[in-house]
Amino acid sequence: MVLKNKLFETKEILNLLIISLFVVLNKIILLFSVFIVLIHLTKKHFSNFFKNKRFYFLILFFLIWIIKNITISGCLIFPVTKLCSESFLWSNKNISESVSIENEAWAKGWPDYVNDKNITKEDKLTMKNYSKNFNWVKTWYSGHFSFMLSIILPYVLIVLLSFMSIFKFKIEQNTNYLIQDRRKFYFLFLILLIANIFWIIKVPVFRYGYSYLISIIALIFSYTGLRLFTLKEKLKVKILIIFCIGFLVIFLKNTLRIIKNENNYNNYPWPKYYSMGKENNFPKLQMLNISNKIFYRPINGDYCMYYKSPCINYGNYLDAKIIDKYGYFFIHLD
């Protein structure tokens, strides 16, 4: 049996690109998913794009997102400072850079570093320097890395169990299953490898890049099985058993998570959207009256969260410029 390389139709490629775009717009770091689709592009696809309505929907959807970004921030992609323009009244590269630095530092375990009592106040790095030169690795490794392992290890064990149940080892190369075009596999592996490296170096929070990690693990197991192993007998029964075991493990894991969860917090059972703390208390905000308009600014290290508005953590409210136009108030913060 030969695993032939399927040639996707133009509409299928466009459907995949639309899904990829939706994924990327939710999490910019998942941009590498677009390259996975591009592996299957041919000259025929390019020539047929203009004949398909899906292509124009894709372009229109993307343009609307870009216009939205420029309208609210002056950036093509916020907070990528290099993609911001000072041509707009509301543009502010300083705010964009500040948000970018803070996002990266938090993803690399900044709160754990700040609260580390073994580091004196004089020796603590600034948020910007903390993210540089791998200064964050020690803190991240002792904190978030353990959390990642606790989630990934059960998955790897299930995959390993599935692998051992489905395949049996053969020393010689398995000739029953051949991949017709290995170049695409290698290219896919390269994309996932680069994506994982970028994720770990730039924003190593599990929820940002776990899909890359799981994908490359699954790819390695599946390719190894097809190349060096052969399938066992009674495969359907084994797959059903594996599915039931996997479902049971996931069900028990999430059940224990719900039981052990501390539910004694403000606004339970709704999510904790008032505070970053365990008690979910309302943030402390300072009210400012500027040009007869009420603004809110967090104090004592709090954040705006989902509370009173308009509220922002960045910018100088005292120098705010308010423009009344077309029935809307446009607020420009210096």
Residue 186 lies in a domain: yes
Do 153 and 253 reside in the same domain of the chain?
A: yes
Do 147 and 255 reside in the same domain of the chain?
A: yes
> Residue 239 region, left (φ>0) first, then alpha (ψ -120 to 50), else beta?
alpha
Do 245 and 295 reside in the same domain of the chain?
A: no
- Token representation of residue 156: 């790897």
H-type alpha helices, the chain: 10-26, 32-38, 43-49, 53-73, 93-107, 110-114, 127-130, 137-142, 144-166, 182-202, 206-228, 235-260
Question: pLDDT for 34-59, tens place per residue?
Answer: 888 888 887 777 788 888 899 999 99
Residue 237 lies in a domain: yes
Do 149 and 248 reside in the same domain of the chain?
A: yes
Residue 310 lies in a domain: yes
- The Cα diameter of the chain in Å comes to 80
Average pLDDT over residues 200-208: 91
Do 256 and 295 reside in the same domain of the chain?
A: no
Do 303 and 234 reside in the same domain of the chain?
A: no
Residue 84 lies in a domain: no
- Give yes or no for a contact between 314 and 101, defined as CB atoms under 8 angstroms apart: no
Do 171 and 247 reside in the same domain of the chain?
A: yes
Q: How many domains does the chain contain in total?
A: 3
Do 159 and 69 reside in the same domain of the chain?
A: no
Residue 106 lies in a domain: no
In this model, does residue 194 exceed pLDDT 90? yes
Do 255 and 317 reside in the same domain of the chain?
A: no
SS3 category, 293: strand
Average pLDDT over residues 18-32: 88
Residue 138 lies in a domain: no
> Across the chain, what does the average pLDDT equal?
82
Do 227 and 166 reside in the same domain of the chain?
A: yes
Do 211 and 309 reside in the same domain of the chain?
A: no
Q: What is the pLDDT of residue 90?
A: 77
In this model, does residue 321 exceed pLDDT 80? no
CA–CA separation, 302 and 334 (whole Å): 21
Domain that includes residue 326, residue range: 285-332
CA–CA separation, 160 and 169 (whole Å): 13
Residue 62 lies in a domain: yes
The angle that helices 144-166 and 206-228 make with each other, rounded to 10 degrees, is 20
List Cβ neighbours of 298 (8 Å cut-off, separation of 6 or more): 283, 284, 285, 286, 304, 311, 313
- Give yes or no for a contact between 45 and 10, defined as CB atoms under 8 angstroms apart: yes
